[in-house]
A and B are shown apart, each in its own frame.
Chain A
Amino acid sequence: MTDSTVQEGKQQARRTSLIHSQPVRRFMANRTAVIGGVLMLLLIAASLLSPWLARFEPQAVDVVSRLKPPSVKHWFGTDNLGRDVFSRTLNGTKISIQVGLTVALVSSAAGLVIGLYSAYYRRLDQVLMRIMDGIFAFPAVLLAMAMMAALGPNVSNLMICLSIVFTPAVARIVRSSALVVKEQTYIEAMRALGASRTRILWLHIMPGTLSPLIVQGSFVFAESIIVEAALSFLGAGIPAPMPSLGNLLSEGKQFIYNSWWMTLFPGFALILSVLAMNWFGDGLRDMLDPHARTKRKRSRKGSMEKNTSDNNNEKVSSATQASS
Chain B
Amino acid sequence: MASENLLEIKALQTHFHTEAGKVSAVDGVSLAVGAGEIVGIVGESGCGKSVTAQSILRLLDEKSQASYSGEIHFEGVDLLKLSQRQMRGVRGNDISMIFQDPLSSLNPLLTIGEQITETIRSHRKFSRKNAWQEAVRLLRLTGIPAPERRVHEYPHQLSGGMRQRVMIAIALACEPKLLIADEPTTALDVTIQAQIMDLIAKLNRELGMSVLLITHDLGVVAEVCHRVAVMYAGQIVETADVATLFREPQHPYTVGLLQSIPSLDRDRAKPLQAVEGFVPALHQLPKGCRFAPRCPHADARCHAVMPLLEAKGSLGSQARCWHSEALSQKEAVGHA
B26 to chain A, nearest CB (A): 17
B90 touches A194 (CB 8 A): yes
Distance (Å) between the CB of A7 and the closest chain B CB? 12
- Interface size on B (CB < 8 Å)? 34
A72 close to B (CB within 8 Å): no
A189 CB contact (under 8 Å) in B63, B99, B145, B152: B99
How far, in angstroms, from A191 to B90 measured CA to CA in the complex?
11
How far, in angstroms, from A271 to B170 measured CA to CA in the complex?
53
Q: Are A193 and B145 in contact (CB under 8 A)?
A: no
A204 to B153, CA, bound (A): 17
**Complex CA distance for A188 and B53, rounded to whole angstroms:** 13
In A203-221, the 8 Å CB interface with B consists of 203-204, 207-208
Note all chain B residues with C-beta closer than 8 A to A190.
Answer: 107
Instruction: Assess whether A194 is in contact with B88, with CB atoms less than 8 Å apart.
Output: yes
B61's nearest neighbour on chain A, judged by CB, is A191
Contacts of A196 in B (CB 8 A): 88, 122
Cβ contact within 8 Å between A186 and B105: yes
Report the separation of the CA atoms of residues A189 and B57 in the bound assembly, to the nearest whole angstrom: 11
B196: shortest Cβ distance to chain A, in Å? 16
Are B146 and A5 touching (Cβ within 8 A)? Answer: yes
Q: Are B99 and A188 in contact (CB under 8 A)?
A: yes
Query: Smallest distance from the beta carbon of A206 to chain B beta carbons, Å?
Result: 10
- A192 engages B104 (CB within 8 Å): no
A-B pair number, CB within 8 angstroms? 71
Q: Is A308 an interface residue (CB 8 A)?
A: no
| A194 close to B170 (CB less than 8 A) | no
Question: Cβ of B91: which chain A residues have Cβ within 8 Å of it?
Answer: 191-194
Select which of A16, A184, A207 is within 8 A of B104 by beta carbon: A184
Q: Return the contact of B119 from the options A9, A13, A193 (Cβ within 8 A).
A: A193
- By a CB distance below 8 angstroms, the chain B residues around A194 are 88-93, 119, 122-123
Digitize A167-201: 1 where CB-to-B-CB distance is under 8 Å, 0 elsewhere: 00000000000000000111011111111100100
Roughly how many angstroms separate A207 CA and B108 CA in the complex, as a whole number? Answer: 10
* A9-B106 in contact given A192-B59, A193-B171, A194-B93 (Cβ < 8 Å): no
Cβ of B241 < 8 Å from any Cβ of A? Answer: no
- With an 8 A cutoff between CB atoms, is B97 at the interface? yes
- What CA separation (Å) do A75 and B170 show in the bound complex? 66
Known contacts A9-B146, A12-B153, A13-B149; 6 additional CB pairs below 8 A are A186-B104, A186-B105, A189-B105, A193-B119, A195-B92, A204-B110
Q: List 22 A-B contacts (CB under 8 A).
A: A5-B145, A184-B104, A185-B105, A188-B99, A189-B99, A189-B105, A189-B106, A189-B167, A189-B170, A191-B91, A192-B92, A192-B96, A193-B122, A194-B88, A194-B90, A194-B93, A194-B119, A194-B122, A195-B118, A195-B122, A196-B122, A203-B118
Q: Which residues of A contact B (CB under 8 A)?
A: 5, 9, 12-13, 16, 184-186, 188-196, 199, 203-204, 207-208
